[in-house]
Amino acid sequence: MVDGRMVSMTNSAVVLADAASYAAAVEEASAAAAAYYAGGESTLDDDAYDRLVRGIAVYEEEHPQDVLAASPTGKVAGGAAGGDVPHTVPMLSLDNVFSAEQFATWTASLERRIGRPVAAWSVEPKLDGLAVAARYRSGRLERLITRGDGTAGEDVSHAVGTVVGLPEQLGEPVTIEVRGEILMTNEQFEQANTVRTEHGGDPFANPRNGAAGTLRAKDRPYTVEMTFFAYGALPLPESGELTGTLAELPHSEVLRYVAGLGVHTAAETDVAPRTVTTVEQVQSRVEEIAALRASLPFGIDGIVIKADLAADQREAGSGTRAPRWAIAYKLPAVEKVTRLLGVEWNVGRTGIIAPRAVLEPVEIDGSTVSYATLHNPADITRRDLRLGDRVMVYKAGDIIPRIEAPVAHLRTGDEQPIVFPETCPQCGSEIDTSEQRWRCVRGRDCRLVASISYAAGRDQLDIEGLGATRVVQLVDAGLVTDFADLFTLEREQLLGLERMGETSTDNLLAAIETARTRPLSRVFCALGVRGTGRSMSRRIARYFASMDRIRAADVDTLQQVDGIGKEKAAGVVAELVELAPLIEKLVAARVTMVEPGATPPPEPGEEGTDAAAAVAEGETAAERPLDGMTVVVTGAMTGALEKLSRNQMNELIERAGGKSSSSVSKRTTLLVAGEKAGSKRTKAEDLGVRIAAPDEFAELIAEFLPSEV
């Protein structure tokens, strides 16, 4: 709706019905931009703003006689903001494309303009921040300026010193202007909102608004960090010999030069700028960056594609608002504003009481979002969320939607406080509120069926035939009060249950008997210790080798396990005390309490294990094929590995001495690439990581393969 008039929507733009709707849309877009660039607040989320501006552009193309001077289509991003510091060279925006077809059309137009194919393309992330120019004289940062209206910007030099990646002194005494984006990483955003709310302020709606508001803020009683990523550089009038050098360098070389001066670029991230030579390679890289979006520690809203060579850029030239040699390939929005309708309080299998937001349905990243996580009651209080709030909701890929913050400036006064439960929503028992995550005092007993079903799951004890329905039968019959009771079930007891014949009974008992022999890592995972999961359970089991040693470990000892810090270690110690009766029952039931092939660390004051002593005496301990290696598995496995789940593959890697990982990086030693390996294979090739096919990997670790494969 625009100014009370209903307008229809397409996939890419608001459709404006008449001149009055057009005028109202221009007014709304201008007001939203002005509010955002003035203090980081806007009445529209980015996607709604983009759709509105595209609708304005379509209307203007069809009705050129109606174009208003206030229209945002002829201005650079940030054009609503004033500024009194002139730019030496206009600081332009980028035009957008939204599909592979639109990108192909744009490249064809560019190549017609310069009369030849583009020699090389630079493909880099479109960072979701604010464009700034940092002026260095003789290597020292002298001034920081916003984009403003493209010809002049605002002096925000007061922010110098709070921006990570923007050094106050370069590695060389050069005079240069570095251009880039200032943003908040996800971690910086969380910290900023914590500090801001502690000082009585409203939380920022999202990282981009946080960066916009923070960059312009002066004389605050607190400071918060932001991060700078350079995307280009140009000489200043007194740059001397540097002027000609920068003018002739390819864009990719300019970025390398800037990084060499000590300025932060995206080169060390998972979405590092890459130079390619064909449109097909550009599209492939676009897809890779899009696939990584959800896992990045900062926001991106697209991919920037630039002609790399200076000659191609010169011949293409620039328009009044955007260069003709660069384009922004926009990705679907991952955050939008919607309304918080209610809060549900759900109890998990360990008794944790988790709030879930009920939202006015909104389409984000290709799916309809009606619910979002709220983490815990303390998080609700810190963010000052209220029923009826307009809230910024974030979702990307398979990530569970989350509420970033209320859009506080849109409040009407009708919003209501969220009521916290006084008793457990599941069973009515008391609630332990001593920690941030509230918990039913009955713990796992509150959700007994869920707890037992989890323990019996494929990645834990893998008890075939023990689904949730069967667990309910066992609990209702009083045959089990925890999953240790499964190992004491008798044949006659099971035969007495409805729909349990001799065959199904014998099969279930056989599966339970097999589960008794699962390694310690599986048993520990089945316990469901808070703060641990499959990979952490494997690490703990391999480090300590036996349940006795795990239970004897104190907080300091547990921190020797990779990935366990002081807070998590304390939580594990406390959980194991609580779980002591269950563990004792498992021991009595002869469930395996050791990890095959694991060598425990030496006890304090002891010489260590035989293996450790042998090494100390100069003997060589038996080497495993993956010792010291970090291995990533991707794609569909074949041959001997075809029937293994990803968790079983990770177990196999660790038994063979390696460390399993889910992402390819410089630390990766080996990538096991099955069918349709995708972007991980491409990245491994770029980094020079060794790549093995499933059959080759199976041969490498043959002695560790399970007997059933």
Burial call 638-672: b when 16+ CB within 10 Å, e when fewer: eebbeebeebbbbbbbbbbbbbbbeebeeebebbb
Cβ count within 10 A of residue 351: 26
Examine the residue annotation and report whether 568 is marked as an active-site residue of this protein: no
CA distance 347 to 450: 10
* Residue 520 to residues 257, 460, 544, 583, 587, Cα–Cα distance (Å): 52, 10, 10, 12, 11
Q: Which amino acid is at 399?
A: I
Q: Are 334 and 394 in contact (CB under 8 A)?
A: yes
Q: Are 224 and 202 in contact (CB under 8 A)?
A: no
* List of residues 6+ apart from 105 with CB closer than 8 A: 97
DSSP 297: S
Q: Are 87 and 150 in contact (CB under 8 A)?
A: yes
Q: Are 175 and 136 in contact (CB under 8 A)?
A: yes
Task: Reduce the DSSP state of residue 232 to 3 states and report it.
Answer: strand
Q: What DSSP element (H or E) covers 170?
A: none
CA distance 390 to 412: 10
Q: Are 325 and 312 in contact (CB under 8 A)?
A: yes
Q: Which amino acid is at 198?
A: E
Q: List alpha helices for 154-204, DSSP H.
A: 186-198
Burial bucket for residue 394 (CB in 10 Å: 0-12, 13-18, 19+): buried
Choosing from 75, 126, 306, 676, the catalytic residue is: 126
CA distance 33 to 359: 26
* Residue 443 to residues 352, 450, 528, 547, Cα–Cα distance (Å): 7, 12, 11, 22
CA distance 510 to 507: 5
Catalytic annotation, residues = 126
